[in-house]
Amino acid sequence: MAVSSRVFPLLFLFSLFSFGTIFSSATLFTLQNHCSFTVWPGSLSGNSAALGDGGFELPSGSSAQFQAPPGWSGRFWGRTGCTFDNSGTGKCITGDCGGVLKCTGGGEPPVSLVEFTIAGGSSDKDFYDVSLVDGYNVALGVKAVGGTGDCQYAGCVTDLNTNCPEELRIMNSGSVVACKSACAAFNSAEFCCTGDHATPQTCSPTQYSELFKNACPTAYSYAYDDASSTRTCSGSDYLITFCPTGP
């Protein structure tokens, strides 16, 4: 009995310490919706369970938080114009992932993405970016919180749907709801960085990727737009905002 009275408190304290260590090493993602409409974020992980069960509803003005373990990699995107029944079956006008609320695959282009590879193993840096390589559907930004290093803002604050070229527009009920990438619109090696244009040396910016880049300087505009788009940070949490008003 005397042994038990000492062992259990010690085990309890050890478990608290261990939990605190794990908790402090996890990365906290906060997703907030500053749009005037509901967004249904989708998530996809490359190496573990998807955060937020793969997808959820995020009404205007609301936020949600999720923790990712060290070494996590994945992406988030916003779906718009969604309707789901009680079983989670339905459809989204943009960013749909197979007609379900909880995504098991990526969002259907055109869609704005935020991508992460969180530090783990031999790497002590997080890598993150906002990508318009698959087109654009909703403004999106990511801000590092509490980290050290470069930790710059990445995102697309501008509403690209308002000045999307006619040949790239996705329309719904007379309104532009998304802007396709030139690759999706024309399916050519020049715009898709394939074939003879499959290297950084042979795939250059085009008039369409430059339109995206001028509007959103800190977002990927085409496949090899690494230098001005990839961000790094160490020990940070991240604030992801749909329809941000600025960095």
Burial of 125 (0-12, 13-18, 19+ CB in 10 A): middle
User: What mean pLDDT value characterizes the chain?
Assistant: 88
Exposed (0-12), middle (13-18) or buried (19+): which is 119, by Cβ within 10 Å? buried
Q: Which two tokens stand for residue 206?
A: 């085009």
Domain residue extents for the chain: 2-242
* Contact call for residues 52 and 63 (beta carbons, < 8 A): no
> Region 54-78: what's the mean pLDDT?
96
Q: Which residue has the higher pLDDT, 223 or 79?
A: 79
Q: What is 2-242's CATH topology?
A: Thaumatin (2.60.110)
Percent of the chain with pLDDT over 90: 79
The structure's pTM equals 0.86
pLDDT digits (tens, 9 = 90+) for 125-168: 999 999 999 999 999 999 999 999 999 999 999 999 999 999 99
pLDDT at 6 over 60: no
Q: Is 217 a residue whose pLDDT tops 70?
A: yes
**The predicted structure's pLDDT at residue 227:** 74
41 vs 123, residue with greater confidence: 41
Q: What is the pLDDT of residue 225?
A: 83
SS3 for 6?
A: helix
Going by pLDDT thresholds of 50, 70 and 90, the confidence category of residue 224 is confident
pLDDT in tens, 186-199: 999 999 999 999 99
